[in-house]
Every structure is written in C-alpha cells, then in structure tokens.
A and B are shown apart, each in its own frame.
Chain A
Amino acid sequence: MKFKPLEILTHIILILGVLLMVLPIWFSFATSTHDNVSIMTEGMKFFLGESFTHNYNEVLNEKGGWSEEVTAARMFVNSFIMALGIATLKVVISAMSAYALVYFRFKLAVPIFWLIFITLLVPLEVRIFPSYKIVSDLGLTNTYTGLILPLVASATATFFFRQFYKTIPDELLESAKLDGANSWRFFIDFLLPLSKTMLAAMFIFMFVYGYSQYLWPLIMTTDEKYWTVVMGMKIIFTENYEGVALPRTGERFAYIILSMLPPVLVVVILQRWFIKGLIQTEK
C-alpha cells in the first residue's frame, strides 16, 4: 500500500492530536498506581506501579474533611445526583419551553425568547450572591434541591431545541392533528422521538456542565455530606498527617482519574444514540 505525502502528514497530525489528549491522562493514571515515596523522588510515571489497589482503596474509603466524616465515594454520589438532576431538568425544561415558543402562538413569544436568550450573558457566577440569598432564604442550603434548582434553566438548550423544532415541517403537525393528537401527544409522540439525537447531545453537555460545577456547591454547602467531587479535589488528601510531610500524590491522582469516570461513562453510553441519529437521517 502506498501513501500519498498529504495522507502521511494528516495522519501524523491526527496521531499527535490523539497523543496530546491521551498522554496526560495516561501519565495521571500511571502515576496513580505508584506509592508516594517513589513519586516524590522520581516524579511523574509513565509505567504502571504496584500500589493500584492501595491507592484506590484509600481514596474511596478514607474519611476526610474537617470532621473526618466524608468519603470520596460519598462525594461521587453527590456529584452524580447533582449532575443528573441538572442535566435531566435542563433538557426537560428547555425542550418544553422551546415547544411553547415554537408551536403556541402567544403574544410576546419573540420578546420572551430573546429574554431567555440574553440570560446567556448572565452565568451563575455573575448572579451568585442573589442566587445564594434566595436559596438560603428558602432554607435550601445543604440540600440537593439547593444544589440543582438554580441551574436548571438553560438558554442554550432552549435555543437549540427551538431551532430544531422550526425545521420540522408544518404538515407533520397538521397530519398529527387530523389523527387526533393533542398538544401533549404531539410533544410526546413526535417531537421527543424526532429529537432523540438532540436530547442525547444536550444531556451529555449538561451532565458535564453540572458535574464540573465548582463555585456554586462551594458556596452552597457547609455540611460536608453535600460536598462534590470537584470541590473535593481541592480539599481532600492535602492535609499533612502529624508531622509526616509527604504529599499524598498517588491518592490524589487516583482521585482525579476516578473523578473523570462518570462523564466518560455518560458519553460512552449515550453516544450510541448519538451516532444512530447521525446515520439515519429521518426528516
């Protein structure tokens, strides 16, 4: 088989790109399997070590934090609940609001859409104090509701769903009407199945968004039971144990590797839908 120079070049670029993305992760993983002394003396590792079970066991089960009560496992559960709640509600709410905006002719639909749209300019970090005030007045600090609720509206997703619904031909709606579908049935039987790909994509994005929230849970939670993974990354395994000043780098890398798993799983599971949707062009 003969390769053209251009093909060789493009492949080299692609391979470099892959290495650029995969190597740091591999380094982290390899390092996470060594004991702290060798990491301290020899630096980052490329080959696997022998402390895999020790480090990962330590990470999942050691009680950390100030009160020494919260484990990393607990933080994973918290993060998962938060990300799942945010992603699900964001997708549901924006699909429904886009449906209202596109299919129901009410006055001010366009201004309302733009009003939703400009909230893109006001991310959570900008409105974090008013948000905190409201959530705390409602008594929702240190609850899952408090973690999730202020983040469930999404202008981006609403916008994407709106654009998608606009491409669905009117005849489909009319035909469905003649077949006796009411507004609710049309949404459930037509729009949702037709936007499967869209739903999967949005869910992935929103899950990762929810999972990587840092500032909001940091402000929101005073009770360690509600700490999330991303917060924990800064907080746990940093304390020095009674004069033994050896950084616990091995455990921290193990923690980082573990923290990457849930988003990766979500992508892997949902990508089947994603690709299916890309292959079958159903219009």
Chain B
Amino acid sequence: MSFLELQNITKIYPNGTKAVNETSLNIENGEFVVFVGPSGCGKSTLLRMIAGLEDITNGEISLDGNIINKIDPSERDVAMVFQNYALYPHMSVFNNMAYGLKNRGISKEEINNKVNDVAKLLEIDQLLTRKPSMLSGGQRQRVAMGRAIVRNPKIFLFDEPLSNLDAKLRNQMRLEIKRLQRQMGVTSIFVTHDQTEAMTLGDRIVVINNGVVEQVGTPKEIYSKPNTKFVAEFIGSPQMNLFNCKIENGIAHIADMKINLNNSTNIDDATLGIRPDDILISDNGKHSCVANLVEYLGSDMIIYSKIGDQEFSCKLSSKINLNAGDTFKFEISGTSVHLFDNTTGSRV
C-alpha cells in the first residue's frame, strides 16, 4: 500500500462544476510529486481535498494507511504553503511558526527549540521578531515554508507558492525547495502551472487537464514519451510542433512533405508531433522552407516557418547564420517524432 492513495476521487461543486473526475493516484513516502496543468484544470482542488479544505464528492483518500476523507484538516498532519503565503499579519515571524505547535499543546521550551532550528535552516533567524508586513517577498516565502516545516508533517502541500516572486527569486527558491525536500525526505506535492517548475522539481509529474489525469511519470518520461496530444503540447518550451497529417503505409504526408516513419502504420487522421530542437537543419536536408521570423535568444535562436498552411518552429544554435526571409533546408528523422491518433487523442 502506498503512502498516499487517491482512489477515484471526484469533486463536483454545488453549482454543478466538475472540477476533478475519477482521479486515482499513488504517491510513495518521500516522493516529490508535481501537479501541473493549465489554470482551472482542478489541480489545486485536488490538493485542497488532500489537505481537507474541500469536501470530497466521491472516492477515497488514504494517508499512511488511514482513510482521511472525514478527518479534520488539523488532524491530517499535513502542512500547506499557500500562494499568497497566508502569513498571520498580526503575529511576529516566531509566532507565525509557533502557532500550530501551540495549538497542539507542545511545551514552550520545545517550541522555542524547534522554531529556532527551522529558522536557522531557512536563514530567517534574524527576522523572528518582525511582523510579516516588514518582510520582503522572498522572506515571506521562507517564513511560510518554515511554518510548514516546523510542524514536521507527513506531507507538504505547495499551492503555487512561487508565482508571486520575480523571476530571479523564483529560480532561487525553486532550488531551495528542492534541496530542503531532499534533505528532509518529507513527501511533498507541489501544484504549479509552470512546466519548468514541474520539470525541475518533480520526482514524478502528474499532468492534469479538465479534472482528468493525462499522464503520470518522471520528467524524462513525460518529455520524451507524452501519452496524449495535450501533454505533448503542454510540456516543453518552445512548444512541440503538431502537424495534422495522413499516414499511409508508414509514410506521413504533411502537405507535400513526406516523412518516413519506418513502420507500416495507417491512420487517416493523425497528428505528428516533433520538438523544435529535433528538427535538424543542414544543407543536405531533404525539405526546405522559408524562415518567416527569427527570434534570437543568445545561445539559441528560434525560427518560425510554415509547411503548407501549418506553422512550426525550430530551435537551433545561433551560430548558424540565418535571417528572416532566407530559405533553409532541414531533416526530420522518423525516430524522433511523436504520433497521436486524432480520434482518441492518445499516442500511437
């Protein structure tokens, strides 16, 4: 039995919206799992149901062998870091961190020790007497984490905690969260809509769309073998190119371009996906196109072009000399493409 088990979890709001639909998931002890998906896909709802902040319409959640559906949030032994941190504005940093412990009737001395230890770990020991309004964004973030860590919970739940920080701080905190999680080995669930966060943080990623789990896997699995068209499009930057095509006898036809897949598939209505960096630009490439737009990103550049009336992009080293309006030659290898059946939306 897994540490945290979700079985056929469904959430229907009183107004009839189905936020989460028949979701099942197993999470092992010590794992760092990231829920990723577009906004409104139900990832936060799922997290809040684990925390006990939302009722579960259907299904069962068990934590460490106990079914926790009806257990009060405070007794589930979970700690949550909120998007806006939800620090207690009228309490000092120390009291913010100590509040949960006080409610559990832990002795003053022990509270002192615990809070001080965690404050040192997070390098906020200088700030303990301050009020949250006197802290910077990054410091608030640390306090919010400290408040979760100090309780030593069974699970950490993070609800988009980095979205209020500026880009530089976000990268820094991301690394820190990962480091802390490794160090403490506490099972963690992290909700985000940012695929970079998902890829870098997660031991496993759960891609959610419209209240349904599209795919669960390691970042590598998700990136290299997306199960559905949605996952293919959602993960990876720049986005994977998706071409509508017809496949006859292992040959994909995109407009007048032919790509040999080296198999004998036959699909009338298919989608062929290829990552922008899997398109090989070379002078002896079989296909040629005109670069409509070139985006220079420093070490890389992205070229936007069209095959027939379908747009695509390719990513290549900016050492190659190519300007908008130039014609370029490229090659698509049949082994680096992803095929999806349009009738089912899933991988072939």
Chain A positions near chain B (C-beta within 8 angstroms):
169, 171-172, 174-182, 185, 189-190, 193-194, 280-283
B82 touches which one: A174, A280, A281 (CB < 8 A)?
A174
Interface pair A178/B78, CB less than 8 Å apart: yes
The answer to whether B104 and A283 touch across the interface, beta carbons within 8 angstroms, is no
Q: Mark B256-273, 1 if CB is under 8 A from A, else 0.
A: 000000000000000000
Cα-based distance from A4 to B147 in the complex (angstroms): 54
Query: How far, in Å, is A184 (CB) from chain B's closest CB?
Result: 12
Q: Which residues between 98 and 144 of chain B lie within 8 Å of chain A, taking CB atoms? A: 99-100, 103-104, 131, 133
Residue ID in chain B nearest A194 by CB atoms: B90
- A172 CB contacts on chain B under 8 angstroms: 86, 88
Known: A189-B99, A282-B90. A175 touches B104 (CB 8 A): no
Q: Are B104 and A180 neighbours in the complex by a CB distance under 8 Å?
A: yes
Given contacts A178-B74, A181-B74, A190-B90, 9 further A-B contacts (CB under 8 A): A171-B84, A172-B86, A174-B82, A175-B82, A179-B99, A179-B103, A179-B151, A190-B88, A282-B89
Q: Is the CB of B131 within 8 A of A282?
A: yes
Kindly report which residue of chain B lies nearest to residue A181, judged by CB atoms: B103
Could you pull out 21 A-B pairs where Cβ atoms are within 8 angstroms? A169-B84, A169-B86, A172-B86, A172-B88, A174-B53, A174-B73, A174-B80, A174-B82, A177-B52, A177-B73, A177-B74, A178-B52, A179-B151, A180-B100, A181-B74, A181-B99, A181-B103, A185-B103, A190-B88, A193-B90, A282-B133
Within the complex, the shortest CB–CB distance from B200 to chain A, in Å, comes to: 26
| A218 to B79 CA separation, bound complex (whole angstroms) | 59
Closest 10 CB pairs of A and B: A179-B100, A180-B103, A180-B74, A171-B86, A175-B86, A282-B89, A193-B90, A171-B82, A177-B73, A174-B53
Report Cα–Cα, A190/B103, bound state, in Å: 13
| Closest-CB distance, A244 to chain B (whole angstroms) | 62
Does any Cβ of A come within 8 Å of B51's Cβ?
Answer: yes
A281 to B133 CA separation, bound complex (whole angstroms): 8
Docked-complex contact A178 and B103, CB < 8 angstroms: no
Interface centre among A169, A177, A178, A283 (most CB of B within 10 A): A178
| Distance, CA A275 to CA B89, complexed state (A) | 17
> Smallest Cβ distance from B46 to chain A, in angstroms?
15
Check if A178 sits within 8 Å of B79, measured CB to CB: yes
Residues in A neighbouring B79, C-beta threshold 8 A: 178
- CB-CB nearest in chain A for B133: A282
Interface residues of B toward A: which range?
20 to 34
CB pair B88–A178 under 8 Å, yes or no, is no
Neighbouring A residues of B82 by C-beta, 8 Å:
171, 174-175
Cα separation A200 to B152 with both chains bound (whole Å): 39
In whole angstroms, what is the CA distance A181 to B91 when docked? 15
The residue in B73, B79, B83, B88 that gathers the most chain A C-beta atoms within 10 A of its C-beta is B88
Q: Tell me the interface secondary structure of chain A in the complex.
A: helix
Nearest residue (CB) in A for B151 is A179
List chain A residues, Cβ under 8 A from B133. 280-282
List the B side residues contacting A280 at CB < 8 Å: 131, 133
A194→B73 contact, CB < 8 A: no
Provide the residues of chain A in CB contact with B89, threshold 8 Å. 194, 282-283
Which residues of chain A have C-beta atoms less than 8 A from B103's C-beta?
179-181, 185
How many angstroms between the C-alpha atoms of A283 and B140 in the bound complex?
13
Contact with A along B45-72 (1 / 0, CB 8 A): 0000001110000000000000000000
Q: Which residues of B contact A180 (CB under 8 A)?
A: 74-75, 100, 103-104
- Smallest CB gap from A190: residue in B: B88
Q: What separation, in Å, do the CA atoms of A177 and B103 have in the docked complex? A: 11
Q: A193: which B residues are within 8 A, CB to CB?
A: 90
Among A174, A194, A281, the most chain B Cβ lie within 10 Å of the Cβ of: A174
How many angstroms from the CA of A178 to the CA of B103 in the assembled complex?
A: 10
The smallest C-beta distance from B82 to any residue of chain A, in angstroms, reads 5
- Beta-carbon contact of B86 and A179 below 8 Å: no
Judge whether B74 and A179 touch: CB under 8 Å. yes
Are A178 and B84 within 8 A (Cβ)? no
Q: Which residues of B contact A194 (CB under 8 A)?
A: 89-90
Bound-state Cα–Cα, A179 to B74, Å = 6
Expressed in whole angstroms, the Cα–Cα distance for A176 and B87 within the complex equals 9
Q: How far is the CA of A165 from the CA of B194 in the complex (A)?
A: 33
When chains A and B are docked, how far (Å) is the Cα of A190 from the Cα of B99?
11
Separation in Å of the A134 CB from the closest CB of chain B? 40
In the assembled complex, the Cα of A181 lies from the Cα of B100 at a distance in Å of 8
A178 touches B100 (CB 8 A): yes
Nearest-neighbour CB distance to chain B for A82, whole angstroms, equals 32
Q: Taking the nearest CB of chain B, how far is it from the CB of A56, in angstroms?
A: 43
Interface residue from A169, A175, A181 paired with B80 (Cβ < 8 Å): A175
A178 touches B73 (CB 8 A): yes
- Complex-state Cα separation, A176 to B78, whole angstroms: 12
Kindly state the separation between the CA atoms of A189 and B98 in the bound complex, as whole angstroms.
13
Across-interface contacts of A179 in B (CB, < 8 A):
74, 99-100, 103, 147, 151
Q: Which of B84, B103, B131, B147 has the most CB of A within 10 A?
A: B103
Complex formed: what's the CA distance from A143 to B116 in Å? 55
Quick one: given A172-B86, A282-B89, are A178 and B80 in contact (CB under 8 Å)?
A: yes
Please pick, from A177, A182, A189, A283, the residue contacting B53 in the complex, using a CB distance under 8 A: A177
In the complex, A271 Cα to B98 Cα: how many Å? 31
- Greatest chain A CB density within 10 A among B74, B75, B131, B151 is at B74
CA distance A185 to B82 in the complex (A): 21
In Å, the complex CA distance between A179 and B151 comes to: 9
Chain B neighbourhood of A190, CB < 8 A? 88, 90
Report the Cα distance A282→B130, complex, angstroms: 13
Chain B residue numbers with a CB within 8 Å of A189 are: 99
B185 to chain A, nearest CB (A): 21
Chain A residue with Cβ nearest B83 = A171
Closest residue of A by beta carbon distance from B82 = A171
